[in-house]
Amino acid sequence: MNELEYRLNTELMRKKKILNIVKVFVIIFFIMFVYLFFEYIKLKNQLALVIVFFSFMISVVFGIMYKNSTMKYIKNSIIEYIIREIFEKKSVKYIQNGIPKKVFDDSRMYGGYNQYYSSDGLKMENDNFYIANVTAIEKDENNKKSVFVGIFGYLQTEEFYSEPIVIKPDVENKYISNLKNSKNKIIGNSTDVVRLENNEFEKYFEVYAKNQIEARQIVTVEYMENLLELKKQMNTLIKIIYIGNKKYVAIWNERIIDEKSIYKKGINLAEIKKRIENIIKVFEEC
């Protein structure tokens, strides 16, 4: 545990103790409010009821604001650590509002959503690299469905792709081994599927492109091995699209900073660093 990690964990533990005290007061004031509410019905003691109600509300608001300020301080400290330790001398800035919706739309990564949220963006000043937390939701009067929740971003490429090359997770695991059955996947009548020579890769990913030669130039043996290894380490779904002069990546269920986990388990900077490095590798080494 380095000095920063020790300091942040110490600060987190100290403030969690204060928040626990606040929670006790909230419970006490709530019980008093319920008791006085029924007493008010009998005795009409309105002043006491109002005082306890406002004490309860003030305690709740204070607790929420105190927790938010604590997590903001810790998150900013971790962001500074990530920029310093991982990106080193590269010019990277933190963008609280994340990545614009237009960038997500331009990627053609996912459609069918009507609510979009993004936060905690990390962007190189030359615009070569940009990642952020993204949540895309399809919501109507009766249902709410997550279209995508995770980390999304792009890396500028030297090549220009007029037609998209898509590497998507084979979530339905449609692969049938060549030893068992046939020469390709059960994917309907699609003519855009790129058949590859790595059976294990095709168990987890599907590749689509109108230009088969261009796709094979990207998805090399080394590329497939690297992506497979990262997929196993991260244990999540990864989707990649090459279009225009950008490589877009969507990694499900990842966050730049997982505040809930940090608040619950504490801060492990080595673990955070390793996780962010793996995310960057999906952009740079695959």
What are 118-149's pLDDT values in tens digits? 999 999 877 899 999 999 999 888 888 999 99
Split the chain (286 residues) into runs of 10 and give each run's mean pLDDT. 82 87 86 74 66 83 87 87 80 91 94 93 88 94 90 94 90 44 40 84 92 91 94 94 95 90 88 92 90
Contact assessment for residue 33 and residue 56, using Cβ atoms and an 8 Å cutoff: yes
Secondary structure of residue 237 in the 3-state scheme: coil
Which ranges in the chain belong to alpha helices (H)?
3-43, 46-85, 101-107, 199-204, 212-218, 221-234, 259-265, 269-284
pLDDT digits (tens, 9 = 90+) for 210-227: 988 899 999 999 999 999
Structure tokens at 235: 């244990």
CB atoms within 10 A of CB 82: 20
Q: Which of these, 216, 195, 191, lies nearest to 205 by C-alpha position?
A: 195
**What residues form DSSP beta bridges with 99?**
none
Q: Which of these, 277, 285, 286, lies nearest to 254 by C-alpha position?
A: 277
What is the identity of the amino acid at 195?
R
Q: What is the C-alpha to C-alpha distance for residues 168 and 190, in angstroms, rounded to an integer? A: 15
